[in-house]
Structures are given as structure tokens and as C-alpha cells.
């Protein structure tokens, strides 16, 4: 296997759990306060925002997950890649080196409802990382 790494666009995606009591205010903060625009809102519990070169996902925290000061609200971070095919190349490369790098593949490559393609892994520190192609922020 080649050690050549597929391209990335960098860390341009983060997903956060937001408590029900702060969800609407948090959306307003990101849109009215910081100037992000809604890229996609599949339902009342999820909104995806962008400044044009990135993606911030706000997820209303489900009742089964408690938010408190001892637990991070971070769901995952996303490393964006230029094409959907790059997602598969990254998956194959990292899956082949999972033991050596101390990571675990959590979910296989999937195409999402919004046209994004991604897979998830857990890094050695326990952080969930999504390798993702987001057509809306890919170089054009």
C-alpha cells in the first residue's frame, strides 16, 4: 500500500450538541451574531451553518444525553476533502493502518441525505473524527 496521503481541505467542520433551552439562541448567535448562513436544516433539531468555506452542525441534544460542565458538547470534528472519492481513499488508508495509528473505524463510508460523503473514526484520544466531502465547500 502506498503511503501517499489523499488531499484534504483542512479542519472545516465541527458538530456540537446544544441543549434544548439554548438551541434557538445558539442558532441566532451563529447566524445573526457571527453572520453564518443556514446551509441545510433537515428538521427542527438539526441545522448546518456555513460562512462559505466551512460547516458548523448544531444538533439539539436528545433527552438520552445529558449536557453538563464535566462532559464536552463536541459531537465530532470533520476534516474536509476535495472529492467524494477522496473519502474512500482516506478510509482505505486509515483502515489499513488502524492498529499502528491507534484508531478505530466507527462507521463505513456513506453518502448522506444532503449529498455529503463521509466516514467516522475515533482517534487515540477518543475524539470522533469525520472525514467528509461537503459539496458546498469543495473547491470549484
What superfamily would CATH give domain 10-137? 2,3-Dihydroxybiphenyl 1,2-Dioxygenase, domain 1 (3.10.180.10)
Average pLDDT, the chain: 89
Is the pTM here over 0.85, yes or no? no
- Tens of pLDDT, residues 84-131: 999 999 999 999 999 989 899 999 999 999 999 999 999 877 889 999
Q: How confident is the model at residue 79 (pLDDT cuts 50, 70, 90)?
A: very high
Q: What are the DSSP calls for the chain, one per residue?
A: ---PPPP--EEEEEEEEE-GGGHHHHHHIIIIIT--EEEEEEETTEEEEESSS-EEEEEEPPTTS---TTS--EEEEEEE-SSHHHHHHHHHHHHHTHHHHT-EEEEEEEE-TTS-EEEEEE-TTS-EEEEEE-GGGS--
Would the pLDDT of 38 be above 90?
A: yes
Bigger pLDDT: 113 or 63? Answer: 113
In this predicted structure, the answer to whether residue 4 has a pLDDT above a threshold of 60 is yes
Per-residue confidence at 62, pLDDT binned at 50, 70, 90?
A: confident
* Average pLDDT estimate for 39-58: 94
Percent of the chain with pLDDT strictly greater than 90: 59
pLDDT value for 22:
85
Amino acid at each position: 500500500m502506498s503511503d501517499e496521503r489523499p488531499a484534504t481541505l483542512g479542519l472545516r467542520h465541527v458538530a456540537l450538541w446544544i441543549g434544548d433551552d439554548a438551541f434557538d439562541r445558539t442558532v441566532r448567535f451563529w447566524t445573526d451574531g457571527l453572520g453564518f448562513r443556514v446551509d441545510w436544516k433537515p428538521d427542527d433539531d438539526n441545522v448546518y451553518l456555513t460562512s462559505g468555506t466551512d460547516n458548523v452542525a448544531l444538533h439539539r441534544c436528545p433527552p438520552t444525553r445529558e449536557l453538563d460542565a464535566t462532559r464536552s458538547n463536541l459531537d465530532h470534528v470533520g476534516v474536509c476533502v476535495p472529492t467524494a472519492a477522496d473519502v474512500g481513499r482516506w478510509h482505505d488508508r486509515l483502515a489499513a493502518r488502524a492498529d499502528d495509528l491507534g484508531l478505530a473505524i466507527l462507521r463505513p463510508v456513506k453518502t448522506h441525505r444532503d449529498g455529503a460523503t463521509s466516514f467516522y473514526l475515533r482517534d487515540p484520544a477518543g475524539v470522533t473524527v469525520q472525514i467528509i466531502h461537503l459539496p458546498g465547500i469543495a473547491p470549484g
